[in-house]
Structure 1
C-alpha cells in the first residue's frame, strides 16, 4: 500500500499569496546578514551528554517515515532502533516549511542557544544556509561508517558540504514534469508545458524557486548548477510570459497532486515522489524527465548547535544507512533512496517499487539530473525576490 499523499511540501513555500510564508522568506533572508548571527564551532561549543542520557529529539516533516498500516502511531524502523540501542527517541513532525522552520529557530541558533532538537531534516538549500551560518555541528565520520560505505556517489562532493561532515541526505527527489493522460496527451519539454494551447489555464508550477527556475534554466540551454544573473533573468522572462498569457493557473507546494489526479489540472511541474503515489492509483498520471533535464534535490539530516546528544544522533544516522532499514523507509515515502544496497532489499518488500527508476534511478535518468547552484546571501535575496514578484506571492 502506498503512503498517503503528503499535505505539505518539503521543498516549497506553501502559500499562493503574500502571506506569512513569503514574509518569513524575506525576513529570514534579512536575518542571515544581521550582526551576531554567524557562529563558529569554537565560539558556540556544544556539550554531548549521550554517554549518560540515552535519548534523542528528532524533528522531521509530516509523513516522512514508515508507519505501521494497522497502527499509525507505530513507526517500525524507529521502534527497531529504540529496541536495538536503548536510545529513547522523541519523534516530532513539526517541520512544515523550510523558511517557516528557519524563522522558528533562528533566534536561538544565532544566539548559540539550544533548540531542544538533536536531529532536524531540512532541504539542501536550507541546509547550505545553516552550514554557512555556522549553526550545525560536525559529525564524526568514524561514528557513521554506513554513510561512507552506502551513500549514492551522486550525493558526494556537494558544494556546501563536500565531505558530508555537516549533513547527510535523508531522502532525495526529482523535480520534473507530470501530466494526466486522461485529459491530455504526453508532453516532453518545458516549452510544451508553458506554451501548448491544449493545456492553457490547466498548468501549475512550483512555488519553490529552485525547482521551477532550475527547469526553466535547463530549457534555455543553461546549466542550473552554474548560471549567471543574466541567464536567470532570461529564464524568468519566459516564466513571466507564461503567467501573463494565462498558461499557468497558479503556483503550488505539493497541493497540486489531488488536482492532477482528478484532471482539474492537465500538467505541471512536480515532484517525483508525489507522482509515484498518484500513478499507483492511476497509471495514466505520469512523471516526465524533460529532454533538457531534471533537478535532483535532497532533504538532509543535521545536528544543530547546542544539541546535547550528537553521538546518539550519529547512531541513528548510521542505522538509517543500513540498506534493509533504508528500504523500509523508501517503501513508504516513495522518494529517491540515497542508500546503495537498498534496492536489493526492496526486492523483498515490493519488487515493483524496486524496479521504479524514480526511487532507484538508473544511469540514464541520473545522466539527465543536475542540482541547483548553491547561492550566497545576496543571490538568495535577489533571485527569491524576483521570483516572488513574477509568481504573485
Structure 2
C-alpha cells in the first residue's frame, strides 16, 4: 500500500478564497447564491460519451503493474461506453474552490462534471447553490446501498446534491506499548504522562468536533459557547506546553518515530500505520468520534450531468465499492460491499471485511456522529479564535 504524502483531511485552513465568497453571505441568501432552477445547462451526455472527473491524488484503485491504469474506471467505460477524463488535481479544498469559484459566481461552465471535496467544503457548495440536484431515479445503487448513517447530513438533507465518495473517522492514534496504558477518552490526552507528547490537527474543520465531544457536547447541534469552552481547554494546554504542536498529515511521521505518543488521527491513516507498527492503536473514544465523508458533487452547468450521475451510481454497486475499499482502506459508504470482500478467495482481502475502520461494527457505530458544519456566518469568528491558538 503506498504511503500517503498528505491526507485529504489535513490541509491548513485560512479564510482564503473560500472565505472571500463566504463573506458575501449575510443573514439571508448569499449574494452569490444560484437558485435550483438556474443550475443546469444543456446536457451533452447523449451525444458525447465522456465525463470529466476530478479527484484527490491516491484516492482510487490502481493496477499493481501499471499505476496509470485505474481498473474500476476502465470497467465503467467497458460497461457503459463512457470515457472518463480523470484528473488528480485537488490538493487542497480552498485552493480548488478558489480555482473554480469565479466561474460559478459568474454563472459560467467550470469544465468539471464531477468533483470530490471534503464534506465541510461540499456544505459550502450546497449553501451557495453551486451543486446540482441529482436524479436519484437514475441511481438505483445509491438509493439501495448508501450507508444510512451518511444519508442525510445537516448541510444536504436527503443527500439531494452530494454523495459520499469515501468516509472516515477522526479519532485518536497512540503507541500503547510506549505509553504503557490504554487511551479510552479524549480527556486521556490531557493526562500528565503525555505532556509534550500530544499533537492535534491544525485545521479547524478537522479538529473541533472530536475535541468538543471530549467535553460531552452533542456535535450534531453544538453552539458557539461549546466551541469557545473547548478552545479555552486547548489554549490552556498549549500554554502548559502539553500539546507538542499542531499538524497536518505529518502527524503520522511523528507517531511512527516516537516523537509523540498520542494524537488526533484519521482511520484511513491508522490502517497504514498499524501495518508498519502493530503497537499503534486507533481508538474511537467513549464519548464518541466524528464520522465524516468526502463528497461527490456535480457543479453547476456541468456538460455531462447524466454521465456523471451514471459514474456515481457505478461506484455504489457493492462489487465496485468493495474493489475501491480494498485499495484505499477508508470507511466504505456502501455497507453491502462487506459481504463481497468477505467472500474473496484472497485471505488478506477477506480480512478487510472484519476491519472496523473500513466497516464499523455496531458498537463503534453507536459512538460515531456526523457533526454539524460551521456556517459562513460563524466561520470568521471561530476561525480567528482557532487560528490564534494554532499560530496560523
- Range of TM-score over shorter length: over 0.9
2:183 to 184, 187, 190: 187
Moved more, 249-258 or 81-90: 249-258
Task: Give RMSD over aligned pairs.
Answer: 1.7
Q: Please state how far the C-alpha of 1:88 moved relative to its aligned partner.
A: 1.0
Describe the SS at the equivalent of 1:345: helix
Q: Once structures 1 and 2 are overlaid, which stretch shifts more, 362-371 or 94-103?
A: 94-103
Aligned 8 A contact 2:10 2:206 in 1: no
CA–CA distance in 1 between the matches of 2:51 and 2:318?
22
Structure 2 partner of 1:238: 233
Match of 1:27 among 2, 17, 20: 20
Shift of 1:233: 0.8
Partner of 2:391: 392
Mark the CA change 1:252 to 1:86 in structure 2 (over 3 Å): closer, same or farther: same
Residue in 1 aligned with 2:305?
Answer: 310
Alignment CA distance shift 1:359-1:38 (3 Å): same
- Work out whether 1:273 is the aligned partner of 2:273: no
Q: Determine if contact 1:8/1:62 at 8 Å carries over to the other structure.
A: no
Conserved? CA contact 1:182–1:263, under 8 Å: no
Distance 1:160 1:14 in 2: 22
**DSSP-derived class of the 1:42 partner:** helix
Look up the SS of the partner of 1:304 in the other structure.
Answer: coil
- For the pair 1:92 / 2:91, whether they are aligned, the reply is no
Alignment of 1:1-393 (within 5 A): 3-14=1-12, 23-24=16-17, 26-31=19-24, 36-185=31-180, 186-193=182-189, 195-347=190-342, 348=344, 350-393=349-392
SS for the counterpart of 2:64 is coil
The count of corresponding residues between Structure 1 and Structure 2 is: 385
Equivalent residues of 2:15, 2:380 under 8 A apart: no
Structure 2 unpaired stretches of 5+ = none
SS of 2:170's partner is strand
Post-superposition shift, 1:32? 5.1
Task: Give 1:31 deviation, angstroms.
Answer: 5.0
Alignment correspondent of 1:18: none
Separation of aligned partners in 1, 2:229 and 2:18: 23
Cα distance in 1 for partners of 2:145, 2:312 equals: 12
Distance 1:32 1:102 in 2: 16
Displaced runs of 4 or more, over 4 A: 31-36
Encode CA deviations 1:221-271: one digit per residue, 9 max, x unaligned: 111111221111111101111111111122122221122122222110010
Query: Any conservation in 2 of the 1:28–1:102 contact (CA below 8 Å)?
Result: no
Displacement of 1:381 after TM fit? 2.1
TM-score, structure 2 as length reference: 0.94
Residue pair 2:32, 2:105 contacting (<8 A) in 1 also: yes
- The TM-score normalised by the length of structure 1 is 0.93
Higher mean displacement: 318-327 or 281-290 = 281-290
Moved more, 247-256 or 21-30: 21-30
Partners of 1:239 and 1:25 in 2: CA distance? 26
> Contact between 1:330 and 1:337, CA under 8 Å: does it hold in 2?
yes
Q: Secondary structure at the match of 2:37?
A: coil
Deviation, 1:157, is: 2.2
Structure 1 residue runs without a partner (length 5+) = 16-20
